[in-house]
Structure 1
Amino acid sequence: MIAAPTTAGETLVSENTEGHQKFDPARDAKKDLHEAIDLGIKSNKRILLDIGGEWCIWCHRLDSLFIQNTDLADFLEKHYVVVKINVSKENKNEKILSKYPKVPGYPHFFVLDKNGKLLVSQDTGELENPKGAPVKGHDKKKVFAFLKKWAGK
């Protein structure tokens, strides 16, 4: 389950991989961020910027972690407004991303307070299962610990 602001400023929630919020090069990341800040203020939630692209297998693996673990997805929805910011050949979103630290790889998280102030830049490679683990992907416990640490409230 992935939560993201819609144009109406509501939270969009999808429960399956077919309908989850995608990295869309046509989206206006600046507008999405402003809507997320408005929603963050109204709902007293932190903002999670999820930086990546549809070309990124690790981005899909991270999405799958949330889709397959409703407890993780529910926590994310309860405490964060999620904005997916696309980085691809079609749209690198350089202008908006220039406001934040350089991203070493994808996916990447930035956690902002409800007013849009950067709290942490997180390389999600540090949240992956160890090399040689039977399943390639992100470690649920590490992701959950990260989200809990930065959730506020």
Structure 2
Amino acid sequence: MKKLSLILLATLAISTATFAQTSKTKASKEEVKIYNPAADAKADITAAVAKAKAEKKHVFIQVGGNWCSWCIAFHHLVDNTPALKSYLNAHYETVLVNYSKENKNEAIMASLGYPGRFGYPVFVILDGDGEILHIQNSGYLEEGKGHSVKKVTEFLEGWTYEALDPATYATKDAAQ
């Protein structure tokens, strides 16, 4: 009988701990509001493209959802790395496109070449005319247990307006 009581007590303790952890996890997931399922992704992208063209930048689209721990981690990495955030803001217009059960943004995903095939988050670079320049599987930008600031920065450097502008290289070639 003592054994049965101990087993029941242990089961109760584990169940309570699991419930508390599950509740805590659900609460923290519900608090995350980086992506807006109600946003008009098409309008957001159109505005970013127009601004990028006027400012000789490109558009950086981060596709993901509030359900995606890697998406949230990437967002926090950018926010908590001033040099990375500054570089991104200086060279790109950024748009967060939601992909979730509430809003899959199917038309936008189709127009972006179905970037979700690479998983989430996935990054799409557009030029000032709204043309897709590159779709990046963010898994290639990871190192260890998260995204690498160095790899993300190198990726961003390779797709800036300046990096793809032939005039950038004509000036360098003439100087040599």
Question: Which among 158, 165, 171 is matched to residue 149 of structure 1?
Answer: 158
**Is residue 68 from structure 1 mapped to residue 80 from structure 2 by the alignment?**
yes
Residues 53 and 127 of structure 2 are in contact (CA less than 8 Å); yes or no, is this contact kept in structure 1? Answer: no
Moved over 6 A (4+): none
Q: Deviations for 1:20-42, whole angstroms, at most 9, x for unmatched residues?
A: 98210000001101111111112
Letter in 1 for 2:64: G
Alignment of 1:50-65 (within 5 A): 50-65=62-77
Distance in 2 (CA, whole Å) between partners of 1:105 and 1:116 is: 22
Distance in 1 (CA, whole Å) between partners of 2:152 and 2:33 is: 19
Q: Deviations for 1:102-148, whole angstroms, at most 9, x for unmatched residues?
A: 3220000000111111000100011011xxx3xx2101110000000
Counterpart residue number, 1:96: 108
Distance in 2 (CA, whole Å) between partners of 1:97 and 1:148 is: 25
Counterpart residue number, 1:26: 38
Distance in 1 (CA, whole Å) between partners of 2:78 and 2:57 is: 18
Residues 62 and 122 of structure 2 are in contact (CA less than 8 Å); yes or no, is this contact kept in structure 1? Answer: yes
More helix by share: 2
**Is residue 122 from structure 1 mapped to residue 131 from structure 2 by the alignment?**
no
Query: How large is the RMSD of aligned CA atoms in angstroms?
Result: 1.4
Query: Is the partner of 2:85 in helix, strand or coil?
Result: helix
Give the TM-score normalised by structure 1: 0.81
User: Identity of paired residues, percent?
Assistant: 39
Distance in 2 (CA, whole Å) between partners of 1:51 and 1:72 is: 18
Distance in 2 (CA, whole Å) between partners of 1:138 and 1:21 is: 20
Deviation at 1:61, TM superposition (A): 0.9
Counterpart residue number, 2:119: 105
Distance in 1 (CA, whole Å) between partners of 2:52 and 2:40 is: 18
Deviation at 1:96, TM superposition (A): 1.0
- Computing the radius of gyration from Cα coordinates, the structure with the larger value is 2
Q: Which has the higher contact order (CA 8 A, sep 6+)?
A: 1
Q: Any unmatched runs of 5+ in structure 2?
A: 1-31, 163-176
Query: Is the partner of 1:98 in helix, strand or coil?
Result: helix
Give the TM-score normalised by structure 2: 0.70
